A and B are shown apart, each in its own frame.
Chain A
Amino acid sequence: MRLPFCTHRFRLSGLNLERFLNLMKQRGIPLVKVHRTESRTLVCECYSADLPAVRALTEEKGWKLEHAAPCGLSAAAHKMKKRPGIPLGIAAMLVCVMVCSRFVWRVEVQGAGAYKADLVSFLQESGYHAGVRRTSVDASALENALLRRYPQIAWFHVYVANVTLVVEVSEGVPMPELPPEEPGDLVAERNGIIHSIRVYAGTPAVKAGDVVQKGDVLIRGFERGRDELQTAVRADGVVLARCWDSFTVTMPLYEVNSTETGREHTSVRIETPWFHWPPGENEPAYLASNRLIETRPVGGVYFPVFLQKNVWREVRMERVPRPEEEVRREAGDAVLKLLKTALFHDEIIDKWVDYCMIEDDKLAATATAERLVDIGGF
């Protein structure tokens, strides 16, 4: 039987080697490779199963067949004969893989959110854990059991993927709270000047240009019919009003500079992960100081002892006035940035910045933005 990749290579020498090729063709013995190396030498490769026939032919016709050596899988099989442990190990490994693939070795829960820990413990208790046979996993029964146990979950999808038991969980989306249907007025949620009013239900109580305060009725919750009878309804509509939002940033008109006086105090101590010597910081009694810490290893990486040198330099703090224009510019930029950040999703109609000096040498910048807001609410 000719097995693919199971071949033998041999060297054939003699006269009229083309006749050998033709005889092989006539007898139906295929050659995988033929290469003429010298005038009287051919290097051929045939299927291992055909080698006895080839050998018989060459002996019959007087050609010399030598250096027959197995190639491909035949060579591997030849080597394996000397090391029987390797094929046995491969066979044992394949058997192990086949046996192990019949079991579930991992349980994966996806999308369970807050229920994950409880769900995992429930699966353990129900016998769905690593080591259970794949054939014993009844996915639909488990899905039903899970649905009964977790009614708030929308659905479960249980399946076995290779050696993993996957439980996909989809939590239900809670129903949004619908607005109550009782009759009522639409009132202003903030102060503003009415820009436009569109009424869907009810009777308008304000008109464009009116100034309203928080709590004022914008649309009354009744409608008058043809028969002059009033019917209570739930007021609905869009009431756009010009509203103003302000943000303030305060900045000092001075800056504090520190100047070293020239006095300094130095202390050295030994640091280890377990103790310090000498104990305590040994800090000088300066009113204000800059501290410079320099740590050097004493014993290298494998000996965690460090020498820590602390230098305190006394400094004098003094207030230095800043140019007002510079502070004003900085405060204006800062407050406008704050305004844009706070109202980035709204369309701003107009904006401006006011400045004022306040106590303790500080400058306050107030940015005000005007925008159109639907101020209706219940």
Chain B
Amino acid sequence: MLLDKLKRADIPQELVFGWPRSVLLGDEKLIVEQHQGVYACTEQEIILKTSCGHLVITGEKLSMSRCDRDGLVVFGHIEKLSYRPKG
């Protein structure tokens, strides 16, 4: 019901529900907005806390850039993106 109203009002759902917004550019750059913090960070795996669970970014030589209140950018060779339910 609420979803239909939002659709009719043309309001972005991710803003209302606090969903993370991710943009993957090729396999080298991932822009993540509206995350809730960093859960783990290594060169092979970065796990971000989101409202949908843990967003797991797997790859090689991963690093983060432009980490601020709004989001962050992950650089490196990104191989896999997945959600892990909150434990």
Contacts and interface: CB of A to CB of B under 8 A. Distances in A.
A28 B43 CA distance: 24
A22 B64 CA distance: 13
A37 B62 CA distance: 10
Contact of B67 (A31, A36, A37, A39): A31
Contact of A18 (B39, B62, B63, B66): B39
B37 interface: yes
B43 A36 contact: yes
B66 A32 contact: yes
A28 B38 CA distance: 14
A73 interface: no
Contacts of A24: 67
Contact of A34 (B37, B39, B40, B63): B63
A32 B37 CA distance: 16
B15 to A, nearest CB: 19
Contacts of B41: 17-18, 21, 34, 36, 42
**Contact-residue size bin, chain B (C-beta under 8 Å from the other chain):** 10 to 19
A30 B64 contact: no
A28 B70 CA distance: 9
B68 A25 contact: yes
A44 to B, nearest CB: 9
A30 B38 contact: no
B51 interface: no
Interface of B (DSSP majority class): strand
A2 to B, nearest CB: 10
Which interface residue of B38, B40, B62, B72 has the most chain A CB atoms within 10 A? B38
A34 B48 CA distance: 14
Interface residues of A, number: 17
B63 A22 contact: no
Contact of B38 (A22, A33, A37): A22
Contacts of A32: 65-66
A345 B69 CA distance: 82
Interface string B42-84: 1100000000000000000011111111001000000000000
A78 to B, nearest CB: 23
Contacts of B67: 21, 24-25, 30-31, 34
A240 B75 CA distance: 86
A17 B43 CA distance: 14
A35 interface: yes
B64 A25 contact: no
Interface string A258-270: 0000000000000
A36 B45 CA distance: 10
A61 to B, nearest CB: 15
Contacts of A34: 41, 63-65, 67, 72
Interface of A: 17-18, 21-22, 24-25, 28, 30-37, 39, 42
Interface of B: 37-43, 62-69, 72
Given A32-B65, A34-B72, 5 more contacts: A18-B37, A21-B41, A25-B38, A25-B69, A30-B69
The 6 closest A-B pairs by CB, nearest first: A30-B68, A34-B64, A22-B37, A35-B63, A31-B67, A21-B38
